[in-house]
Amino acid sequence: MSTIGIFDSGVGGLTVLQALRRRIPGADYLYLGDTARLPYGSKSPSTVRRYALNAADHLSRHNIDILVIACNTASASALPALVASSSIPVIGVVEPGVRAALSTGARRIAIIGTEGTIRSDAYQEALYRLSPDVVVEAAACPLFVPLAEEGWGDHPVTNQVAKIYLQPLLDRGVEALILGCTHYPLLKPSLARVAGPGVQLVDSASSVTDAVLSRHRGLATEGGRGKVVLHLTDASDRFRRITQTILGADPEHLEIVDL
């Protein structure tokens, strides 16, 4: 039985866990959410790298076979450092998200994410590297994380905020919008309404699963239903509520850990 380690700054990355479990139900999962130090999105790249390396160290002490960095901010700022320091395969969300966006056929692609993710240029560079003639737009949307945590995925306030952030991108004719933050899939109803039917919303969760399977083919054949263990660095009522919303139930194995 293999264990997939998943790391996020908080519990938004449980959307990635759910996508992985749908296609790879037989694996065991160890999910680490650094809820005590969230948000990563407004911190400097060197702090995000330090936190991400702590987290990877914690997960590697629990015998994981592959590490998925579900956090876009950490993938954008720390993936090379994580790959260099790890003896197991490490998969980030940036390249899978970019591949998913390009597979829609869109030629004008916008990336939205935290300030850290947008400032890093990781998505923009990956888009140009994989498709040099694509037109790339980008916008940081820092208010989206608290709105998602409030459970306002389909709400007039979220519609309003989304209009302010997305209208300049829509005015420039974007055809696909990469949801470059673990929390944004939770806002899909409002984002889809504001973006309109002509814009495809790209969520990297399923393409991350393809990337995992391409690095560890044996995972697809493991049978049964694996165990899911959650490690959080803080478990306030807010995080418990969001965890329940995403998983659809209370987690069976939840531990509070110190990194």
Question: Which structure tokens are listed for 101?
Answer: 């966006």
Contact between 200 and ligand DGL per CB under 6 A: no
**Among residues 140, 181, 195, 211, which one is catalytic?**
181
Contact between 71 and ligand DGL per CB under 6 A: yes
Contact between 38 and ligand DGL per CB under 6 A: yes
Contact between 209 and ligand DGL per CB under 6 A: no
Among 24, 145, 174, 202, binds ligand DGL (CB under 6 A): 145
Instruction: Name the minimum Å distance from CB 74 to ligand DGL.
Output: 7
* CA-based torsion, 35, 39, 44, 45: positive or negative: positive
Contact between 45 and ligand DGL per CB under 6 A: no
What mask of x and - would describe binding to ligand DGL in positions 114 to 143, judged by CB under 6 A?
x--x--------------------------
Reply yes or no on whether 141 is catalytic: no
Question: Which structure tokens are listed for 56?
Answer: 């990877």
Stretch that binds ligand DGL, among 2-10, 17-25, 215-223, 250-258 (CB under 6 A): 2-10
Q: Are 194 and 162 in contact (CB under 8 A)?
A: yes
Q: What are phi and psi of 34, to 5 degrees?
A: -85, 60
Contact between 16 and ligand DGL per CB under 6 A: no
Looking from the CA of 217 toward its CB, the CA atoms found within 13 Å total: 0
Reply yes or no on whether 181 is catalytic: yes
In the chain, what is the straight-line distance between the N-terminal and C-terminal CA atoms, in Å? 26
Among 72, 120, 233, 243, binds ligand DGL (CB under 6 A): 72
**Among residues 32, 52, 68, 71, which one is catalytic?**
71
Contact between 233 and ligand DGL per CB under 6 A: no
Among 77, 182, 190, 204, binds ligand DGL (CB under 6 A): 182
Question: Which structure tokens are listed for 118?
Answer: 């947008």
* Alpha carbon distance 240, 234 (integer Å): 10
Among candidate residues 114, 108, 100, 79, the one with its CA nearest the CA of residue 211:
100
Q: What are phi and psi of 28, to 5 degrees?
A: -85, 150
Q: How far is CA 40 from the centre of its chain?
A: 12
Residues found near ligand DGL in the complex (CB under 6 A) = 8-10, 12, 38-41, 71-73, 113-114, 117, 145, 181-183
Catalytic residues: 71, 181
